[in-house]
Amino acid sequence: MEGCFFRIEINGLFKTSLFKCLNDCGKITLTCLRAERKTMTEDIERVLLTEKEIQSKVAEIGRRITADYADKDPIFIGVLKGCFIFMADLMRNVDVRCSMDFMAVSSYNGTTSTGAVKINKDLNQDVAGRHLLLVEDILDSGVTLNYLKHYLEVREPASIHVATLLDKPARRKADIYADYSCFEVPDAFVVGYGLDYNERYRNLPYIGVLKPEIYS
């Protein structure tokens, strides 16, 4: 049976004695893997922003955008994928005629920036002469948004502004700021409300700090 690997799921009271018995037989080597976590909540060290706090701030930013963009027919440009929940909530709090589009970029692996920005999906329309509002989940080093802003400027829109859910000014490398920012956050890796760690945790309804043991 050399080279065979079985995954056996055993739950209940007899687990420990069964493992001991099998080991004592000397015919089988058991590796005890880390117990799998069952909920996302278990991986969160602390909640930074509650669902209620987020909703109230997003509504406030929505009112500001409504006032600033009356008669401008803006295009909300969501930066995928992190923007998807924020953009949906923000746009429902904006009462002006507007449209939307998405761009997809990649710049991150895990918790560290690769420093390189790659456009995976471009806009589907001509934006010359239009008012653009870039919608981001988090402004961290600023490298992604800075790159996108310059990338879109070439298409001669009437204006480009930035709305971000979170701003981490402590880590800024590029010379860029948000025109609309919901919250400033400390230099910690956060997840939820669209933000991920390796594509997980986007569906948490709040923003939380991830336990370092998850990514270390």
Catalytic positions are: 140
Shorter beta-carbon distance to Mg ion: residue 65 or 163: 163
Query: Which stretch of DSSP H or E encloses residue 68?
Result: helix 51-68
Site for ligand IMP in 60-89 (CB under 6 A): 82
Q: Is 106 in the site for ligand IMP (CB under 6 A)?
A: no
Q: Is 74 exposed, middle or buried (0-12, 13-18, 19+ CB in 10 A)?
A: buried
**How many binding residues for ligand IMP (CB under 6 A)?**
17
DSSP classification of residue 192? B
- DSSP type of residue 104: E
Token reading at 94: 């904006």
DSSP H or E stretch at residue 89: helix 84-91
**Nearest by Cα to 132 from 68, 73, 85:** 73
Q: For residues 100 and 90, is the Cβ–Cβ distance under 8 A?
A: no
Residue 207 CB, nearest approach to ligand IMP (Å): 9
Q: How far is the CB of 102 from ligand IMP (least distance, A)?
A: 13
> Considering the complex, what minimum distance in angstroms separates the CB of residue 158 from ligand IMP?
25
Binding letters toward Mg ion, positions 166-205, x by CB under 5 A = ------------------------------x---------
Q: Which does 207 bind (CB under 5 to 8 A by kind): ligand IMP, Mg ion, none?
A: none
Token pair recorded at residue 208: 């939380």
43 binds ligand IMP (CB under 6 A): no
Residues forming contacts to ligand IMP in the complex (CB under 6 A) are 82, 107-108, 113, 136-144, 189-191, 195
